[in-house]
Structure 1
Amino acid sequence: MIARQLQLPNGQQIPYQLDLRARKTIGLKITDHGLVVHAPKRITATQLQQILLEKSGWIQQKLALRLANQVAPMQWLDGEPLLFMGQDIVLTLIAHPTIKAVTLEGNRLLVRSPHTEQADWVARKVLQWYAQQALPDFKRRVALVAAQMGETVSAVALSNAKSRWGSCNSRKQIRLNWRLIQAPPQVIQYVVCHEMAHLKEMNHSARFYALQASLFPAHAQAEKTLKALSPILHRMT
């Protein structure tokens, strides 16, 4: 990757990372770190500048959208807002000399411990709690969909992927991102059905989408909701 600047006619500069590859066209991608440009190795600086200027409107729009979707990182402090199964809950830290426990009571996630002032410790225990809630919920959903499909699943496991919500392999193993347990139930169900459809169609063909629609008719709205929630769900890290 090569650090570059796109100079706009109004004087504004947009930093980007240039990735030169053996390809014929230019590809633009907005990541968490900004603009990434994939370009042919033999492209000239003038050609690249002209193409990027032509795409500058799209680039600025997408960068502005990314900025608007950014959320504050987790602080792991008392009163921190959290999500669980689509519901707003609040992290509540309670100093206790001996008890070490995380429990959900109403809309409060109570963390009792002599270490409540240690953010790393609180984070670790809260993430463990979310994972403990996620796995049985996901297994139950997978089992119900498998029965509906007349299929068998060899294993259900949690994933910690940064960019994928789930996966299914040829060994009929399903992996689901534990962060999904923060999302509304219909979003979790959508991802489960999406991955389960891959048991019969290991692709994204028309037949796959037809099967997905039969398993979860409201997939389009759920996908839209998940995309909008994604920055919030990824605060949990």
Structure 2
Amino acid sequence: MITQQLQLPNGQTIAYQLDLRARRSIGLKITAEGLVVHAPKRISASQLQQVLQEKSSWIQQKLALREANQVAPMQWLDGEPLLFMGQDIVLTLVAHPTSKAVTLEGDKLLVRSPYINNPDWVARKVLQWYAQQALPDFKRRVALIAAQMGEQVSGVGLSNAKSRWGSCNSRKQIRLNWRLIQAPPHVIQYVVCHEMAHLKEMNHSARFYAVQASLFPQYEHAEKALKALSPILHRMA
């Protein structure tokens, strides 16, 4: 992606990420990082600027909404609120001379270590724990849906993407964002079903949504829930 600047009529400048692809239309998306513009490879700079100017009110409105929904960044301190499988848990740091264990006990994620006063170390251990919980959960869900569909999946891996919750490629490899393990089970299931539907339709056509609906009928509700949760899920870097 290329970083560009959009000059608004009021003189304000907005930085955005330009992603040039083999496509026919311009797509705008507001992510945790800001504005992302997907555009055809051969579009001229003047054409692109004209479209963005026409959409400037929408862009400003969405960016303002994103700003209003911003949540406080993680501090990695004792008592930090966390989410796991949709449940509220609390980061609990316990000084220990030798142990470096991370365990979930009730509603407490206990981190025992001689380094509990080092936020970077705590962050690394907690993120490792979340990834360790995510992969087997995701693999189990994918295997169950693959059996239901009569499909074969060549691999399931974790993604650290900032703006995508999952992907499915032509080699039938599924990648899912580890941050999803914070979300309620039905939201996780929705994303898994979305990516699995791409095994049948590698697009977002009406046929794709028909497959998705057959796997997860309430996908529209779950999609809205995921969008609302997104700022919270992205607290973890």
TM superposition shift of 1:71: 1.1
| Structure-1 residue corresponding to 2:105 | 105
Counterpart-to-counterpart distance in 1, 2:105 and 2:14? 46
Paired residues of 1:16 and 1:36 also in contact (CA < 8 A): no
Counterpart-to-counterpart distance in 2, 1:155 and 1:27? 30
Output the amino acid matched with 1:222.
A
1:16 counterpart = 2:14: yes
Paired residues of 2:33 and 2:162 also in contact (CA < 8 A): no
| Structure-1 residue corresponding to 2:63 | 63
Paired residues of 1:15 and 1:35 also in contact (CA < 8 A): no
TM superposition shift of 1:59: 3.7
SS at match of 1:157: strand
TM superposition shift of 1:57: 3.8
Change (3 A) 1:27 1:157: closer
TM superposition shift of 1:152: 1.3
Change (3 A) 1:147 1:55: closer
SS at match of 1:126: helix
SS at match of 1:192: helix
SS at match of 1:188: helix
Which consecutive residues of structure 1, in runs of 5 or more, have no partner in the other structure? Answer: none
| Structure-1 residue corresponding to 2:8 | 6
| Structure-1 residue corresponding to 2:133 | 133
Change (3 A) 1:212 1:117: same
Counterpart-to-counterpart distance in 2, 1:174 and 1:140? 12
| Structure-2 residue corresponding to 1:158 | 158
SS at match of 1:76: coil
| Structure-2 residue corresponding to 1:90 | 90
Counterpart-to-counterpart distance in 2, 1:207 and 1:200? 9
Change (3 A) 1:198 1:4: closer
TM superposition shift of 1:129: 0.3
SS at match of 2:60: helix
SS at match of 2:62: helix
Change (3 A) 1:4 1:144: closer
**How is 1:17-56 mapped onto 2 (pairs within 5 angstroms)?**
17=15, 30=30, 32=32, 40-42=44-46, 52=53
What whole-Å deviation, never above 9, does each CA across 1:61-109 have from its counterpart, x for those lacking one? 2222011111111110001110000011110000111111000011110
| Structure-2 residue corresponding to 1:226 | 226
Change (3 A) 1:172 1:4: closer
Paired residues of 1:26 and 1:40 also in contact (CA < 8 A): no
Output the amino acid matched with 2:13.
P
After TM superposition, the score normalised by the length of structure 2 is 0.84
TM superposition shift of 1:15: 2.3
Which consecutive residues of structure 2, in runs of 5 or more, have no partner in the other structure? Answer: none
Output the amino acid matched with 2:79.
G
State the Cα RMSD in Å. 2.8
Aligned-residue sequence identity (percent) comes to 78
Change (3 A) 1:26 1:178: closer
SS at match of 1:236: coil
Output the amino acid matched with 2:62.
K
**How is 1:143-182 mapped onto 2 (pairs within 5 angstroms)?**
143-182=143-182
After TM superposition, the score normalised by the length of structure 1 is 0.84
Counterpart-to-counterpart distance in 2, 1:160 and 1:87? 22
Output the amino acid matched with 2:8.
L
Higher-Rg member (1/2): 1
